[in-house]
Amino acid sequence: MPLSNLIIVLVVVGVVLWLINSYIPMQATVKKILNVVVIIAVIIWLLSVFGVIGNISTIRIGR
């Protein structure tokens, strides 16, 4: 994945998260949980893109 695509994806995710936090009324705890989930998902995705962890589709949870 080219660096420009990576930066565009990160900017889009950041803007969408900012829009959700700014304009959708939610409790503060729900916003915090949403932010943490999105940040963890982005970190896992970045680790996969840079090859630190394997392909995400090969990760199995449960049976």
Q: What is the pLDDT of residue 8?
A: 95
Q: What is the pLDDT of residue 9?
A: 94
Domain boundaries, the chain: 3-58
What is the residue-level pLDDT of the chain in tens, covering all 63 positions?
Answer: 789 999 999 999 999 999 999 999 999 999 999 999 999 999 988 988 888 887 766 767 777
- Whole-prediction pTM value? 0.79
Q: What is the pLDDT of residue 6?
A: 92
Q: What is the pLDDT of residue 15?
A: 97
Distance CA 34, CA 14 (A): 12
Distance CA 46, CA 56 (A): 11
